[in-house]
Amino acid sequence: MNIKEKFGEKVKSLREAKGFSIEHLANISNIDRNYISDIEKGKRNVSLIIIEKLSIAFEINIQELFYYGE
C-alpha cells in the first residue's frame, strides 16, 4: 500500500469515527466532496493546505493524520 492509500484510509477512518458524511466533511473543511472521495480512494496527492484543512475539520494535530498504527 502506498502513502496516498494509507493517508486516504486514515482520512476515511477519522471521518467515520467522527460520524461525518463526506458531504459534511466537505462543508466544514471547505474541500470539494469529490476531492475528499478521491483522497479516501488514494487517488490524490494532497497539498499541505488540504492537510491543514482536514486537521482543523477533525480537530486534531496534523501529525495525527500520518499515524497509521504501524
pTM reported for the whole predicted model:
0.92
On whether residue 70 sits in a domain, the answer given is no
Identify the domain containing residue 36 by its residue range: 3-58
Instruction: Tell me the per-residue pLDDT of 13-32, one tens digit each, with 9 for 90 and over.
Output: 999 999 999 999 999 999 99
SS3 breakdown of the chain: % helix, strand, coil, rounded to 5? 70, 0, 30
Helix (H, G, I), strand (E, B) or coil at 22: helix
The rounded distance, in Å, linking the Cα atoms of 8 and 11 is: 5
**CATH code for the domain of 46:** 1.10.260.40
On whether residue 17 sits in a domain, the answer given is yes
pLDDT at position 1:
86
Count of structural domains, the chain: 1
pLDDT at position 69:
74
Q: Are 40 and 34 in contact (CB under 8 A)?
A: no
On whether residue 45 sits in a domain, the answer given is yes
